[in-house]
Structure 1
Amino acid sequence: MNVAYVRVSTVDQNEDRQIEALKKHNIEKWYTEKVSGKNTNRPQLKEMLDFVREGDTIYIHDFSRLARSTKDLLDIVEQLTEKGVHLVSNKENIDSSTPTGKLMLTMIGAIAEFERTNLLERQREGIAVAKKKGVYKGRKAVSIDETKWNDLLEQYTSRKISKVEFAKQLDISRPTLDKLLADAQ
């Protein structure tokens, strides 16, 4: 099935230009919305991603209509790839069903990963400098009442409560609970 996704950022904007450009693809189902692309929390986008099936093709006018950040774009592309759905962008002339299109998306992904790795490296360097200066002390340790911990741990190991409930009772996140459980072993 040929599916189109059309998005403009505000209600004052007009989507006719995008619709006209996509008509040549014999679109069978249209998803149109007037909402910011700052994140992927968009009703029509979510509905479309749930709707499409293996073999379908999504047509967009350009990548900025689908996502404003490389990370969001790559997340959407990965989701579509897992479902066997192709993506075609008019403006960038990229079709993920072709070898060249796959190469271009892979290159975009590699650049995004490179940027992310550099960002994390700069962050680690900054933290190291701040620690030397005594400015950065790290996250404060979580303190948990030992009696409460032992009681909840017993309930958890006997499967009376779930890990979610365990974390909720301690008022901590799941990853923090996982770390505490690993430390306890």
Structure 2
Amino acid sequence: MKIGYARVSTQDQDNAMQLIALKEDGCKRIFEEKASGAKFDRPILWQCIESLKTGDQLVFYKLDRVARSLSDLLQILERVEKSGASIKSLTEPIDTGSAAGRLMLQILGAMAEFERSLIRERSIAGQREARARGKQFGRPLSVDEATASAIVDEYLTGLHTLKGVAQRFGVSPSVVKRLVYKKTKPSYRS
């Protein structure tokens, strides 16, 4: 039996295109998940894999919907193979029923991981460059600099809790915590 798996990263994203493709391919059962692929803890994926029986085929739209790293991919592949099932991607030529197919799957997984690493490196380099030019990241302070300084000084006396300082200045405890951390950890950038 063909068992489908569709995943999108956030609640705002739509997996309709994946679902249509999986149904057109003949999937009798489809597991849907809304979770970041960067997280290894994807309960619906593991539930899907646990449901596989000998002769079943796990079908997904694209490799990056199932695995985000080569080690992740290899672990998933091992669990699928232990169940006696195989893997099929609708957009990549993957057939894990042969040694060549498993090799192709591993090469594609390594290339996907490499591409994500390059994107991450470029993003970090861009952020460093922007910081060097004076760009401030994150939300602007909800209080002026004088109030921020007073909040930190009040907390650092040790006489008040985060919540107490927050109530006194009319801000949330997370604002107090962020301001204190920013002042006490000079390398921290908000």
Normalising by the residue count of structure 2, what TM-score does the alignment of the two structures yield?
Answer: 0.54
**Which secondary structure state, in structure 1, belongs to the residue aligned with residue 48 of structure 2?**
helix
CA distance in 1, matches of 2:8, 2:106: 27
- What do the CA deviations read for 1:10-59 (whole angstroms, capped 9, x no partner)? 01000001111222221111100111111221121111111111110010
> In the alignment, which residue of structure 1 is the partner of 2:45?
45
**Structure 2: gaps spanning 5 or more residues:** 115-190
* Aligned positions, number: 112
CA distance in 1, matches of 2:94, 2:78: 15
Trace 1:2-151 onto structure 2 (pairs within 5 A).
2-98=2-98, 100-105=100-105, 107=107
CA distance in 2, matches of 1:50, 1:20: 23
**Structure 1: gaps spanning 5 or more residues:** 116-185
Runs ≥4 residues deviating over 6 A: none
RMSD: 2.1
Q: Are the equivalent residues in 2 in contact too, given 1:54–1:85 (CA < 8 A)?
A: yes
Per the TM alignment, residue 99 of structure 1 is displaced from its structure 2 partner at its CA by: 5.3
Distance change in 2, residues 1:92/1:108 (3 Å): closer
CA distance in 2, matches of 1:56, 1:9: 26
Q: Are the equivalent residues in 2 in contact too, given 1:39–1:67 (CA < 8 A)?
A: no
CA distance in 2, matches of 1:22, 1:93: 15
Distance change in 2, residues 1:78/1:107 (3 Å): same
